Chains A and B, each alone.
Chain A
Amino acid sequence: MDIRRIAVLGAGRLGRGIAECAAGKGYDVVLFSQGAGGQDALLRIERSLHRRLAKWGITESEKRLILGRINYTQDLKELSNADLLIEATLDKMQVKRELLHTADQFCRPEVVFISASATLRISDLAKEIKRSEMLVGLHFIPPVPDVSVAELVRGEQTSEHAVAVARQIATRLGKQAVEIQESRGLVNPRALLVMVNEAACMIDEGICEAHHAELILKESWGMKQGPLEMADRLGLDLVLSWMEQLQKAYGSRYAPCPLIRRYVREGRLGVKTRLGFLAYSEDDSVLTEDEGNKED
């Protein structure tokens, strides 16, 4: 089946990134969110496109074209028009299962379901849907439009066809799909969380300031974003939730640093609250150490 219209479930950072990336490659996208934040998601996508325009990455007409291809809805009945479904909601088993179960009713039977979950197993998610062989994992890494790799995972029942569709869509979105074994946390989230947690411990122990830890890690490994900025952009509440899930699966090495718990308790969640490990301006860019101190 030729894929032209993609339904993206979930309008958080990952869902928005997938929607922006897919629309940028010419797909019509329907972005579903059952919360009230959907319209805000379109505004955030527009802001993201504006940032790309300011960096000359796209033109004004490309920005309009991409935005024109994304529609937001809360009506799951519109899933009936989708040629592919990508689920990018919060990693909560019950929420995902219910959504996938509902989507299973509305989507045409030949439509492949992709889950972008980082910490839940595809085989477990597949239990609630009839098309269990059509569910495949493809974990996109934020910022989705910029990262050229995605982690491909098949569940116990995933068909070769579903894997082929996931590979095809990854290629068309400009990502190399690297297949790994089904596991909680996959490769990128597991490795990132260890690094973030260790950096948080060092900050908590007073060994260095967050800015300095970020600078050392970012520059020494040639990263575009350091691990602390990545964590802030993911949201420290999500980071904490992932760590707790991985702690259950892998034990104490994923025990969250108390600093992360404290930040989440204080509502210091990262970019979305403009303060996490680092401080952020209204256009979501990182403030320098001096600017950040003023913000504090």
Chain B
Amino acid sequence: MNIFVLNCGSSSVKYKLYAMEGEKVLAEGRVERVGQENAVITHQSSGKEKVTRTMPILEHTVAIQESLNLLTHPEHGIIKSAQEIDAVGHRVVHGGESFSDSVLIDGRTKEILDSLAELAPLHNPANVIGIRAAEKLMPKTPQVAVFDTAFHSTIPPHGFLYAIPYSVYQRHKVRRYGFHGTSHKYVSQRAAELMGRKIEDLKIISCHLGNGASIAAIADGKSIDTSMGFTPLEGLMMGTRSGDIDPGAIFYIMRKEELNLHEIDSMLNKHSGLYGMAGVSDMRDIEKGIAEGDKLCKVAFDMYEYRIRKYIGSYIAAMNGVDAIVFTAGIGENTPSLRTALVANLPYLGITLDEEQNKKRGEDIEISTPDSRVRVFVIPTDEELVIARDTASIVS
């Protein structure tokens, strides 16, 4: 069975074609600058050379058509026709309260997705455009939606409600939804496999540390809490997002700086986090700054580490224990110094790191020593594979 995974952003389309027997990636690519005359499409089929083309791609339908053209290209492609695609799996950021699992897309699904655009205005509309474009190009192929929020639908009310008037939740569904669910699901399942244990018997804390960052408490294979909330702004300190902040400070800043809603939103989402503290949002630049003696880079790094540590502590309390901690995504996978600092600051947990293992990159790896009380893993995330698996499972 061949599954075509699509991740449509407002001006980009990322895709992967999987052969589900053996879960092999047959081809992958991305289209950048959708909507412009100079869009760039990059494609690589397994065992073949990478192809890059620049062309006018003014809408998502054309972007997906071009990717299908390359998948079926006699020289660069890997399949003979689009009919060899058995199903399409779409990444959809927000499923609201309507979707607690992946679903086969029908007319009703699209109506609900349209109504959810308000909850994720930057992402959901683009996801839905991708769904409609793929349907137009492959009308007979089943389409499946896989939601970033779905994995967190198991969080109980005491974890997902905010302590504000209940009527606000009833009227506007303001609550914690959480994000990166597909990634948290993948790495927690993979950690259980690596431990040789059933996920239902484990308490796992999963740290997805990319430019956006979230942390999840996973007990019995289910998310019971996560740091991102109603929006991806809550929780950990991130590349350019503030994460947790006293709401009272926001009102004060707005008054003192005479900011409107758009400006404070932009400040917290785009001008804060590592960037707000140190002027750079990339953890590699922070590490470089520290090496050069930049004090603000050091403070930013310490804040970043401390906030992760606080969440780990609170999730241990929430689950009454932890069996494994998993790091994933750009910073989680590629910053050994952050993992070392975290563990060094948590002696109470009895974690010991294997420093040699901790330096390795690009593979699933256990970085704790055999005598460590809590096992620690670095697992490169693979959200597309989860989407492909869910899609295959729904259509078969």
User: Is B one of A's binding partners?
Assistant: yes
Interchain nearest-CB distance for B267 vs A (Å): 4
In the complex, the answer to whether A59 meets B35 with C-beta atoms within 8 Å is no
Q: Which of B35, B263, B270 contacts A55 (CB 8 A)?
A: B263
Is A57 positioned at the interface, with any CB of B under 8 Å from its CB? yes
In the complex, the answer to whether A59 meets B58 with C-beta atoms within 8 Å is no
Which residue of chain A has the shortest Cβ distance to B275 in the bound complex? A59
Segment from B13-21, B157-165, B254-262, B344-352 that makes contact with A: B254-262
Which residue of chain B has the shortest Cβ distance to A52 in the bound complex? B263
Is A58 positioned at the interface, with any CB of B under 8 Å from its CB? yes
Q: Which of A2, A55, A59 contacts B259 (CB 8 A)?
A: A55
In the complex, the answer to whether B263 meets A59 with C-beta atoms within 8 Å is no
Which chain A positions have C-beta within 8 A of B58? Answer: 2, 4
Q: Which of B35, B266, B270 contacts A26 (CB 8 A)?
A: B35
The interface residues of chain A, by DSSP majority, are classed as loop
Q: Which of B257, B264, B266 contacts A58 (CB 8 A)?
A: B266
Which chain A positions have C-beta within 8 A of B263? Answer: 52, 55-57
In the complex, the answer to whether B35 meets A57 with C-beta atoms within 8 Å is no
Which chain B positions have C-beta within 8 A of A4? Answer: 58
A56 vs B258: C-alpha distance in the bound complex, in angstroms? 11
Which residue of chain A has the shortest Cβ distance to B276 in the bound complex? A56
A247 vs B121: C-alpha distance in the bound complex, in angstroms? 46
In the complex, the answer to whether A56 meets B35 with C-beta atoms within 8 Å is no
Is B271 positioned at the interface, with any CB of A under 8 Å from its CB? yes
Which residue of chain B has the shortest Cβ distance to A174 in the bound complex? B262
Is A289 positioned at the interface, with any CB of B under 8 Å from its CB? no
Q: What are the interface flags for B257-294 relative to A under an 8 Å C-beta threshold, 1 for contact and 0 otherwise?
A: 11110111011001100000000000000000000000
In the complex, the answer to whether A56 meets B259 with C-beta atoms within 8 Å is yes
What bracket does the count of chain B residues touching chain A fall in? Answer: 10 to 19
In the complex, the answer to whether B271 meets A56 with C-beta atoms within 8 Å is yes
Interchain nearest-CB distance for A143 vs B (Å): 11
Which residue of chain A has the shortest Cβ distance to B267 in the bound complex? A56
Q: What are the interface flags for A1-12 relative to B under an 8 Å C-beta threshold, 1 for contact and 0 otherwise?
A: 010100000000
Interchain nearest-CB distance for A108 vs B (Å): 17
Question: A residues 37-82 with Cβ under 8 Å of B?
Answer: 52, 55-59
A2 vs B267: C-alpha distance in the bound complex, in angstroms? 33
Q: Which of A26, A55, A59, A146 contacts B257 (CB 8 A)?
A: A55
Which chain B positions have C-beta within 8 A of A224? Answer: 260
Question: A residues 1-40 with Cβ under 8 Å of B?
Answer: 2, 4, 26
Interchain nearest-CB distance for A22 vs B (Å): 15
Interchain nearest-CB distance for B261 vs A (Å): 10
**Residue among A2, A57, A146 with max Cβ neighbours from chain B (10 Å):** A57
Q: A2-B58, A26-B35 are in contact. Are A59 and B260 (CB under 8 A)?
A: no
Interchain nearest-CB distance for B88 vs A (Å): 25
Which chain A positions have C-beta within 8 A of B259? Answer: 55-56
In the complex, the answer to whether A146 meets B266 with C-beta atoms within 8 Å is no
A19 vs B378: C-alpha distance in the bound complex, in angstroms? 48
Which residue of chain A has the shortest Cβ distance to B11 in the bound complex? A26
A59 vs B271: C-alpha distance in the bound complex, in angstroms? 7
Q: Which of A2, A56, A146 contacts B270 (CB 8 A)?
A: A56
Which chain A positions have C-beta within 8 A of B260? Answer: 57, 146, 224
Interchain nearest-CB distance for A103 vs B (Å): 24
Which chain B positions have C-beta within 8 A of A59? Answer: 266, 270-271
Question: B residues 93-147 with Cβ under 8 Å of A?
Answer: none
A40 vs B259: C-alpha distance in the bound complex, in angstroms? 27
Q: What are the interface flags for A231-266 relative to B under an 8 Å C-beta threshold, 1 for contact and 0 otherwise?
A: 000000000000000000000000000000000000
Q: What are the interface flags for A138-160 relative to B under an 8 Å C-beta threshold, 1 for contact and 0 otherwise?
A: 00000000100000000000000
Top 6 A-B pairs, shortest CB-CB distance: A56-B267, A57-B263, A56-B271, A55-B263, A59-B270, A57-B266
10 examples of A-B residue contacts, CB within 8 angstroms: A4-B58, A52-B263, A55-B258, A56-B259, A56-B266, A57-B260, A57-B263, A57-B266, A59-B270, A224-B260
Beyond the given A4-B58, A52-B263, A224-B260, please list 19 additional residue pairs across the A-B interface where CB-CB is below 8 A. Answer: A2-B58, A26-B35, A55-B257, A55-B258, A55-B259, A56-B259, A56-B264, A56-B266, A56-B267, A56-B270, A56-B271, A57-B260, A57-B262, A57-B263, A57-B266, A58-B266, A59-B266, A59-B270, A146-B260
B interface, CB within 8 angstroms of A: 35, 58, 257-260, 262-264, 266-267, 270-271
